[in-house]
């Protein structure tokens, strides 16, 4: 019998997607031997309730631009097509039902891991997927204890100090985001006049 397919689920707001996301996904794929990393843009994060942000379909399109050149990266509509808020446990349940043969790994940045106890059904999440915590901007998950007794693997990620909020600020203040996002994403942002300048 062939080994089951290994797929990483990489959730986020991706407003916009940037090189930090892509490098994290690449490092996780290599370290964990994943066949695919599936980017899952949230319809609306339960933790960004009051934040209107960029429309879900627009963020989905930016992620599609960002992953277009990489055969092992894909983008899913599983959260975009469900009513908000987007709970990871529901997403993993749906994915497991649709593709029962897949071995799922949830990829989490250390900032998300720190608040994992506040997520809906963290133990059920850990039952549905292996949990891999990615280092971010020098922050090591080993020093973070969310207080939930679930197993996790730590994945060291090449350090890149870049965040979506920083990129939005750069555009709003008329600074360049060239080389911090794939060129297709930069062109998309420019053509849709996202994020200002205000």
Pairing of strands 103-109, 153-155: unpaired
Q: Interface with ligand ATP includes 153 (CB under 6 A)? A: no
The length of the chain is 198
Among the listed ranges 77-85, 86-94, 105-113, 121-129, the one in contact with ligand ATP (CB under 6 A) is: 105-113
Among the listed ranges 8-16, 75-83, 85-93, 182-190, the one in contact with ligand ATP (CB under 6 A) is: 8-16
Looking at the DSSP bridge assignments, the partners of residue 154 are 133
Q: Which of 109, 122, 146, 182 lies at the binding interface for ligand ATP (CB under 6 A)?
A: 109
| Nearest CB to ligand ATP, comparing residues 48 and 93 | 48
State which H helix or E strand residue 81 sits in.
none
Q: Which of 85, 160, 170, 184 lies at the binding interface for ligand ATP (CB under 6 A)?
A: 160
CB of 114 to ligand ATP, least distance (A): 10
The CA-CA-CA angle for residues 54, 59, 60, to 5°, reads 150
102 token code pair: 């897949």
Which residue has its beta carbon closest to ligand ATP?
109
The CA-CA-CA angle for residues 177, 75, 103, to 5°, reads 130
């Amino acid at each position: 019998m062939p080994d089951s397919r290994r797929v990483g689920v990489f959730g986020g707001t991706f407003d916009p997607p940037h090189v930090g996301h892509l490098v994290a996904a690449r490092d996780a794929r290599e370290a964990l031997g994943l066949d695919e990393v599936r980017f899952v843009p949230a319809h609306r994060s339960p933790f960004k309730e009051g934040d209107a942000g960029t429309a879900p379909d627009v963020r989905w399109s930016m992620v599609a631009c960002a992953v277009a050149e990489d055969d092992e990266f894909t983008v899913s509509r599983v959260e975009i097509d469900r009513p908000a808020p987007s709970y990871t446990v529901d997403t993993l349940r749906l994915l497991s039902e649709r593709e029962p043969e897949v071995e799922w790994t949830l990829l989490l940045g250390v900032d998300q891991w720190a608040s994992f106890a506040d997520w809906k059904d963290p133990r059920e999440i850990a039952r549905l997927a292996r949990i891999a915590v990615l280092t971010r901007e020098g922050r090591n998950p080993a020093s973070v204890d969310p207080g939930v007794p679930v197993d996790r693997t730590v994945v060291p990620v090449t350090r890149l100090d870049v965040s979506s909020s920083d990129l939005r600020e750069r555009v709003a203040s008329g600074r360049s985001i060239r080389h911090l996002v794939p060129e297709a994403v930069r062109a998309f942002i420019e053509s849709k006049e996202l994020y200002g300048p205000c």
